[in-house]
Structure 1
């Protein structure tokens, strides 16, 4: 028997469709979207302000409204931006693979691993956040620059960080696909963070992070697999075939990880892969 979607589900699907259409309009017709946004902003400004048109007071109010809309947009997109533009992806994947290699199902819990990855991400990204604040957000709040200039200055530190941690091979892959999709010649010459667009840099950075995270996870798995093999061989030679080897090897893997100070070594190696690049 086919069940029809409920009213909230229909509304959610409708809102998702409207949002998708809005994104397509912004992507393919930026000029029309800018004109519509300007008319909408003008209507809001007229409703909230009694100042005459063209006055400094009305211009300031328009800037504040744009800042408020931009802030709300950033807050709504913050979880996704945290994943695709920072080191959070590598940290959380490595920690998850470490837990699987140890054979622990829910220890440490997901909240602990996510929180540790989050604060390590803040530690690594602090120079980037400071540059974005000093060059873009603070001058914008002081009305020293326009919103368009602020967006460029806020994004530049993130572009430099992502470019420094992305393989040239990955950037070339998406640059070639983008050029072929637009029937344009493949760009030649030196590739820099300024000449690389967000459309190319973000997915290239993500697959570079996934590759490094899986490489680190592979190296983490090796010593624990060796312990499992040794324990399984001993149990087989002793005739205890009914005893699960994983159950016996678990405490040995845990004590091995503690004795080598694994958390210290893992956290240090993960962060050292970023900090020199950011500092340079």
Structure 2
């Protein structure tokens, strides 16, 4: 016991000496003043301008997917495909990734003439220094405005004009803050109309199947188990994918 007490006492003295030495060293330290200077005073404005450009570029890149979705045909196509999958009752077949990829490539097919016109009237003249950045920006939005105006309903556009308190008469001359929400609302409206037309034949198959099962006394058998293969067979025999895509493309051409 005496040996343990001596060892603990020596350890206590060692720790006390260490803390005392560290305290003396810490008390002798002084906090130097901070003098941070990046570049020369003449370069501050240029560096700040580059930083602002980088921030704006990152902001545009982060918003680019939303801009593509909300100003192209992507929304209508994807919503229609969602209605088709629900009408068939196949749950997760085709997968969402497949439908999104097909919607993206169909969007490229539909929007390619518009993008070519933007490249011809805005991007190439700007690269050749024939147009300033502001004029190229305005020229680039003209084909996109024309496409969106052709797909926007007058009722939806009038709604946002009324809510915005403006007096715009033509859609192609409207600001994007008015045209984009009106375009999205019109796309959803058209997609739901197409979805209703898609649902009708499959709903008829479900009703006929349920009626037949009820008449045969098979009330314990879920009608979905019988109607699902019939709907898939009907869709395949009718060449449903070709008919559906043809109808989607025709809705943009009309």
TM range (shorter): 0.7 to 0.9
Q: Are residue 44 (structure 1) and residue 47 (structure 2) matched?
A: yes
Structure (1 or 2) with the larger CA radius of gyration: 2
Mapped contact 2:156–2:186 kept (Cα < 8 A): yes
- What does residue range 198-217 of structure 1 map to in structure 2 within 5 Å? 198-217=176-195
How far is 1:148 from its partner? 0.9
Structure 2, gaps ≥5 residues long: 1-42
Counterpart of 2:245 (choices 267, 272, 279) is 267
Counterpart of 2:137 (choices 131, 138, 151) is 151
Partner of 1:76: 62
Q: Normalising by structure 2, report the TM-score.
A: 0.77
Cα separation, 1, equivalents of 2:142 and 2:133: 14
Partner of 2:128: 142
Cα separation, 2, equivalents of 1:247 and 1:253: 11
Counterpart of 2:167 (choices 187, 191, 197) is 187
Counterpart of 2:147 (choices 161, 177, 181) is 161
Partner of 1:253: 231
Cα separation, 2, equivalents of 1:207 and 1:168: 11
Q: Normalising by structure 1, report the TM-score.
A: 0.70
Counterpart of 2:115 (choices 114, 120, 129) is 129
User: Residue by residue, what CA displacement relative to the aligned partner does 1:131-152 show, whole Å, maximum 9, x if unpaired?
Assistant: 1111111222222221111111
Structure 1, gaps ≥5 residues long: 1-39, 49-64, 180-185
Considering only aligned residues, what root-mean-square deviation do their CA atoms show, in Å?
A: 2.3
Mapped contact 1:163–1:205 kept (Cα < 8 A): yes
Aligned residues: 212
Mapped contact 2:171–2:179 kept (Cα < 8 A): no
How far is 1:127 from its partner? 0.8
User: Residue by residue, what CA displacement relative to the aligned partner does 1:72-101 show, whole Å, maximum 9, x if unpaired?
Assistant: 444322210111100000000000110000
Mapped contact 1:170–1:208 kept (Cα < 8 A): yes
